[in-house]
Structure formats: C-alpha cells, structure tokens
A and B are shown apart, each in its own frame.
Chain A
Amino acid sequence: MPTALPTPRARLRFAPLLGVLAIALSPTGVPREAAPAEVTSPAKVAYDAKQKEYALKAAFLFHFAKHTAWPKKSLPKDTSPIYVTVVGRDPFGKVLDSVLRGKKVDDHALIIRRYANVAAIRDAHLIVAGHLSAKERDKLVAHCRARAIFLIGDQPGLAARGALASFYLKKGKVRFEMNRWAIDASGLKISSQVLKLARFVQERR
C-alpha cells in the first residue's frame, strides 16, 4: 500500500508570475531624445548574425528608392536628395551607411537620417520603422498615411497595419509584403519591378 506523505509546501508557487505582470503593466516605449547614430545590439552575437540580413535589406531599400517616383512637390529639383530615414531604434547600424554610401538614384543622392521618435521627423521619402513601442509605431503609420512617404517596417506585419510595406524572412531569405491600399493612398508611383515581387497583404482594421 502506498503510504501518502503530505505534499511539501510550495513557497515559490506563484512567484514566477510576478515578472510578466511587472512588464505588462509598465509603460513601454520610453521616449528617447536623440537616436544614437550607431547602435550595437546588446547581444553582439545576434548582431553579427544579423549583419548580412541588414546589408541585404539596405540593398532592397536602394531598389525601392530607384523604382519609386515621388511627386514633384516632394522632390522639387533633379538634384534634391532622397532622405532614407530610420525611425526608432536602428536595427541596421553601420551596414546601412556602408551599403548606401555615395549611392544616387539618377541625380538624387541618398542621404541617411535617423530619428528616435515620430515627432522629430523632418522631410523623409523612405522611412524604415525600426524598433518602436506599439504607441509610437501607430503614430508613425498615422504620420505617413496619405503622404508621399514610402514607409516600410523592418519586421513583418507593419504593412497589414497601414504601412506600404514590411520586410519578412522566408527560409532565411529576405522578402517583402505590401499593402495596395496604402500605396494608392500615398500617391507614389511604384514600378512593377517591385510590385511583382511583393506578397500583398490585407490591411487589418
């Protein structure tokens, strides 16, 4: 006959639940004043592995700029620069600069700018949404909506939230998804060279 002994008292039974609550309840998206020019990922490990991904993504950005026609109001002169802008914490680091350095689309030089938050954004043509809080992300989508700005999310899902496009990875290769409604609303003319390669997503409202 099994002799049952009293179950020992579990003192830490509920302690493991505290952590998530603390973070879930904390205000996220701490506003940041100035965006650091170069951000080294906290885990160098992940950063190194990610360099190749972001070099490729930077090259995609070049093609997006090349295959997009901005309205005259937005690019008044033949020599007006195209501002490639990273908003939020920058996932590219130096890679973006090294891939796009000295690059031009026709006579438009590509100039890289980085902003910590939406409020700081000045003229921008192509915006990459980096790491942002949910609130700031929504603000960015609202800011770009119906403007001549090519807004692309670094992470999947942003196109479905109202951006023109977002990157995603499929079997280790870089892909992008686009939102037809947002493209139309932006007034940008995007070449079929780009459109034919995109996966189109429905906007979730």
Chain B
Amino acid sequence: MDWFDYVLLGVQAVFQGPVAFELAGFAIPISVLMVLSGFLLGILVGSTPGLAGPMAMAISLPILISVFGYHESALLPVFGFLIGVMKGATVGGAVPAILFNTPGTPDAYMTTLDGYPLAQRGEANKALRVAHISSASGDTFSDIVLILCAPFLAIIVERYLDLPEKTALLLLSMAFIASVIGRSAGKGLISVGLGLLAAYVGTGEDFSPRLTFGSEALAQGFSVASAILGVLIVGEVFKSMEDMRRDGISSVNARVKNSERRRGLSVGLLRSISPYIARSALIGTAIGALPGVGSTLAATLGYTTGKGRHAKLHPQKAQFGDGIPEGIAATEAANSSVSGANLIPVLSLGIPGNASAVFLILAADSIGGFNPGPSVFRFNADTVNPELVVAFGLFTMMMLANLLNWTIGGRVMRAMGIMTRVPKHYLLPVILLLTLTAIYIQETRLVAVWFTIGFGVLGYLMRRIDMSPLPFVIAFILGGRLEETARQAFSATGSDPWFLFSSATCIVFMGLTVLILLLSARSRRS
C-alpha cells in the first residue's frame, strides 16, 4: 500500500462508513452527520458568552462514548463531532464580540475593538461576514499546513529520535509549555510538577500502588476525565460564579442598529482585507504549531501586526480600533488559524497544545485503538496501519468541517446573536451538574465526583493566584508516557544514569530545556 491508498482509505472511512439515515435516496454517513452536529453545536456555544468549545467537548464526550461504545469504529464519529465543535466555536466567538462588545471566547477580545464600533454604526451584518470569511480562510489554511506538515514531522521523529531523545523532547515540551503559558515561568513549572505528581498517584510498576496514603480510593489513581474536567471546567465555573456574585450580573441590553441591506461583501472590500487575512493566517499557524501558545496571543499578534501595517500604508484613512473591517479580518484569521496547526504537535509528537487537543487525546484514550504520536504515521507497505487510516479520516473530516464553514457557517453564525442573551449565571450551575453527571456516568463511583470537585478547587485556586491550569493538564496527560519512555531509555542505554545526555540531540534538547526556563524567568524579571 502506498500513501495514496491510505488517503483513499481515510476518505472512504468517512464517506462509506456506517450510515446514519437516508435522505431523498442518499445515504448520510454517521461521521458526516457528527461533523455537522458538532459544527452547529460549536457555533452555538461559541456564540454564548461563558461557554466555550472545550466545555461542549467535555460534556458531550461521555454521551458520544455511550452512543458509539469503546470500539475502534467509534473513533471517527467521535473525532468528527469534536472537530466540528472546535471549528464551530472558533467562528461563533466573534458573534457576541461584534454584536454586544462581549467576546464569546477570550481570543475574540480583539474582534470587539473594530467589530462593535461597526455594529454600532449599523454595519453588524458586514462585520459578521468579514469575521466569517476571515475565520474560515485562516482555519482552512491552518488545516492544509497541518495535513502537509504533521506526517513529515512524525516520520522525522520516528526515524531520528531514539528513546533517550524522545524523553528529552518530552521534557523540552513541558518546559516550553511551562514558560509560554501564563505570565510566570515559575508558576508554569509548579503547575507542570503538580500535574505530573497527580498523574503518578496510584500507579507504578510495583505491586503496591504509590502515593496513596494507604487509601483504597486513591489506589486506582485519578482518571484523566476527573482531572481534566475538574481543573478546566469546574475550576472555571467556581471562579466565574464568584466574579458574578462580587461584580453583579451584567445583562446584555444593547440593541444593534441594522440599517444596512443584507448582501455579500464587495470585491473591493475583499481585496482590501485579503492581505490582512493572509498575514494573520501565517502568524496564527506558526504560533499554533508550538504547543501551549494559545489563540489569544495569535489574535493579539495578528491584530498588532495588521495595525502597524495599516497605519504605515494608509495614514490618512480610519485606523484599527475606529471600526474598520481590516481589524476584524486580522484578528479572526489569526485566532482561527491556530486550531488546525495546534494539532501538529498532537499528531506528530503526541503532545497536546491546547484544551481542544486535550479532549481529542482524551477521546482517543477513552476509546482506544488510536495513540496520537509519531507511531500514527508509521507507514507499512505490506500491512494496513489502522491508525494511519484514522489519521487521514481525521484530515478528511477537518476539510469537511471547513466546507461546512464556508457554505452554511456564515448563515448559522449570523443567526446566533440571540445566544448572547442567555444568562450566564443560570448556565454555570447547570454546566457544573452536567460535568459531575458526565463524570459519574463514565466512572460509576461517587468518589470520582469528589475527585472532580477536588480538582475543581485546585483549578479555582490556580486561577486566583494567576497560575495557568493548562500546563497541569498537559503534564497530567504526558506523565505516564514520560515515565514509560524514561524507564525504557534507561534500560536501553544499559542503566546509564546520564541517559538524558547520551547523544548530541539529547544534549541539545536538555540544553534548550534549561535555556528556555532561564530566559523566560529572566524576561519576566526584566
């Protein structure tokens, strides 16, 4: 089998897989239906301030696993739904930012700067169309880069990196994530350390489980779902509820003027926003390919670069922040182009770069049969590598989601303005109940619910002391792999205690690990 056969198998797995139902004589494959459902749900949650893509992914994952089971055939429909949510939420975040000056997702904050003034001038429709076309362009570009880069990066990793190098690479990734997420390398490193420590509770190779204080409940360890949902979702619910209790409940009462005729964007406008979209798509993709660097930074950089360029080229015209479409285009193309590129480290190295990627790994981990990492792209000429087929199925579904984005995304997005009026303080307790129920249904033991609440408390405290919980989550996921790779590397090098410095590549990786942490701490100090 050659590469093209694998691509074909991936496409076939999506379009010729199990049929959901027939529509006018056409069989609708279940994977296609799941991408569509996820995409619509994603726009809905992205348009609702207080909700976000990862929340929807977290809540729907146990339902999806219940529906499709723990079989390899469940992988594509579940991934399709999660990919759909991820892409829909990216587009949807611009809706409340433009209509009500309230970013639906943190990375849409910059969109408010030009989107809201445009909406106030009665050009909300135009602003939403610009946001949609920029977001869809950035996202599609980013996916193409992912499809082209991830397999080659994975092949290089498999071919040139041995066990000690892989261990050093994992440490380098964690140091990088600790340094770039949040505003303090020290806090990032503490977060990574705590995540690793939580991952090692109740596990190990010895007969008696470690770090359990002799407790039966801890002997099974913490489930990935409890830790991730607790820290990411429950912690955020606790914090947001306290903020609303303290600051009062703000209601969206603003009315949007709608004096414009509902028509498409003119060729002239498309021509003027294109360079901003292209520049921001490049920035967002480059940033997205680095694990841990989020879409908010991409949006800020895309906006700032576009702003400087606009001021230089058109000093006489209205500038960024005055309510011009170029400002929306620069932000939306940048934050949307992060989502596809963020999967490059996931698929090629098995290292999640953001919360959405975490849920894809969690789904793969729960269902089984697909281990994101370089082994996915192991090319076998004689036998079929099922993981490679799933990977190409995943790429197919990403392009399908892009197609949906280009065709129906804009219409759905413009219809979601109403979601901004849903009171957030009613939603958050419901999300908490939903999360705890989802955990219980997956684990079927009440102690897992208490663990989730415990992790929620940790997530809340981390947010209050300005420590990002994302390094914790990523370290928790990578903890098991780090230990396993280190054990194998130690044995493979003949029990060499200096195995992390056993080759030039290892030394470079370890040197970079120390350098990144020191430079990051130094830059924060200055």
The answer to whether A and B interact is no
